[in-house]
Amino acid sequence: MIFGKRMGWKKHLAKRYVPSSMKWEAVLKGVGKLYRAVYDEMDKSGGKPVPAKTMADASYKVGLDFGKDLKDMLHLRGRMEDIITAMDVEHQIFGMKAAIVEKSEKRVVYHCYRCAWQKYFSPKLCIAVGQAEKGIAQALNPKAKYHILQTRTMGKEYCIFAIEV
């Protein structure tokens, strides 16, 4: 019984605070995998620019790995509440300020008001890298669907993305 309470506390705490060591490990692992995928693709194409689809696929795989790590570490399952927990952790790690504007057992819609990456990404790159969140959601529930409806890189006031199970 104490073990179950401890895991519940760990999950509860992770929604609000992620230690710096975990943040750096996640960032370095994710960026390293993305860099490797881009480098491999450039190597194959003789140094030509990497297509957004390649970047999206690599980002998805990074998110899938990260989602599996969170699932194991925090004992998450495939419920919407667990997907929200994973998203909360990911937002903390990657410097995002997002709020839930719609929530049910089957769907959650976020508005993202701050993203550390906005000034570095084009709209295509933003959407491609955003596929990491799709990977996180699908690591918890393979039936999860992820949709980016608008981004700040498109000149909008905030990003909107939705997850459905």
Residue carrying structure tokens 């990911």: 90
Cα distance between residue 72 and residue 116, in whole Å: 27
Cα distance between residue 125 and residue 147, in whole Å: 15
Q: How many helices (H) and strands (E) does the chain have?
A: 6, 4
Record the tokens describing residue 110, joined without a space.
Answer: 């976020």
**What fold, for 2-164?**
Muramoyl-pentapeptide Carboxypeptidase; domain 2 (3.30.1380)
Q: Is the pLDDT of residue 162 over 60?
A: yes
> Does the model's pTM come out above 0.95?
no
Model pLDDT for residues 99-146, shown as the tens digit of each residue: 999 999 999 999 999 987 778 888 888 888 889 999 999 999 999 999
Which residue type is seen at 75?
H
Cα distance between residue 54 and residue 124, in whole Å: 12
Record the tokens describing residue 107, joined without a space.
Answer: 């769907």
Model pLDDT for residues 35-73, shown as the tens digit of each residue: 777 777 777 777 778 788 888 998 899 899 989 988 988
> How is the chain split into domains, by residue range?
2-164
pLDDT at 42: 73
Q: What is the DSSP string of 19-36?
A: -HHHHHHHHHHHHHHHHH
